[in-house]
Amino acid sequence: MTTRIGVVTFPGSLDDRDAQRAIRLAGAEPVALWHRDKDLHQVDAVVLPGGFSYGDYLRAGAISRFSPVMETLIEQAKLGMPVLGICNGFQVLTESHLLPGAMLRNNHLHFICRDQKLRVENAATAWTSDYQAGQEISIPLKNMDGRYTADRRTIDELESEGRVVFRYLAGEDGLRNPNGSINDIAGITNAAGNVVGLMPHPEHAVEPLVGTGKTDGLPFFTSVLKQLVNV
């Protein structure tokens, strides 16, 4: 049976099609999920894509978090279903409290769009097992509200439990931290390792023709596929 991975479309989602494409390239079947439909249609994992759901009104991700599909998703994520939040999807995950902390406006107030070098700090999550811990990858980054923040206790907890999954590294321009994120954090996971959120976009780096010209993002999708097939 083919592994089914859902991609939620909210009003204002932009990268849902690219996420579906990445899932297909990894060998799974992408399933379009609609924000007003509580039913997850028997998917085995879910991707919350990037974009500007509900126009980022109130706070990025704040309104999407209360959409019908999220009710079921939060339930299933707590039971262990793999969930990946990319960019706006990461913001939805922090607003849902599936991941700790919050996202703030970039410290320089500019929208940023560039290829971003990252270090994979944790290769034991549902979405990173096809990487090596310490591996450096480059995938696109494009956002306005990417400054990850949390209180000191939460940060200490994330660091000591190895739950910082990705950290920003300096690229050719020498710029390391693109948004003022605490400890250069680009992505984190929950304690169980099934929920991962990050600001940069792996789904834009899955084939040589577009994006960074490399396929550094593809292992996200092959990782989860492997885990689901082995279950």
DSSP class of residue 13?
B
Of 32, 68, 107, 111, the one binding another protein (CB under 8 A) is 107
Check residue 94 for interaction with another protein (CB under 8 A): yes
Task: Give the nearest distance from C-beta 128 to another protein in angstroms.
Answer: 25
Strand partners, 9: 34
Nearer CB in complex with another protein: 76/154? 154
CA-nearest of 16, 18, 36, 37 to 26 is 18
Nearer CB in complex with another protein: 178/211? 178
Task: Give the nearest distance from C-beta 48 to another protein in angstroms.
Answer: 17
Of 36, 41, 78, 108, the one binding another protein (CB under 8 A) is 108
Contact 184, 168 (CB under 8 A): yes
Check residue 183 for interaction with another protein (CB under 8 A): no
CA-nearest of 229, 46, 14, 16 to 143 is 14
Of 37, 144, 180, 214, the one binding another protein (CB under 8 A) is 180
**Contact letters for another protein, residues 130-169 (x by CB under 8 A):** -----------------x-xxx------------------
Task: Give the nearest distance from C-beta 161 to another protein in angstroms.
Answer: 18
Check residue 17 for interaction with another protein (CB under 8 A): no
The residues annotated as belonging to the active site are 87, 201, 203
Which 3 state secondary structure label does DSSP give 60? coil
Contact 143, 106 (CB under 8 A): yes
Distance CA 79, CA 91 (A): 21
DSSP class of residue 132?
P
Of 32, 39, 41, 66, the one binding another protein (CB under 8 A) is 66
User: Exposed, middle or buried by CB within 10 Å (0-12, 13-18, 19+), for 41?
Assistant: exposed
As a residue count, the chain comes to 231
The binding site for another protein (CB under 8 A) comprises 58-59, 62, 66, 94-95, 100-102, 104-109, 147, 149-151, 180
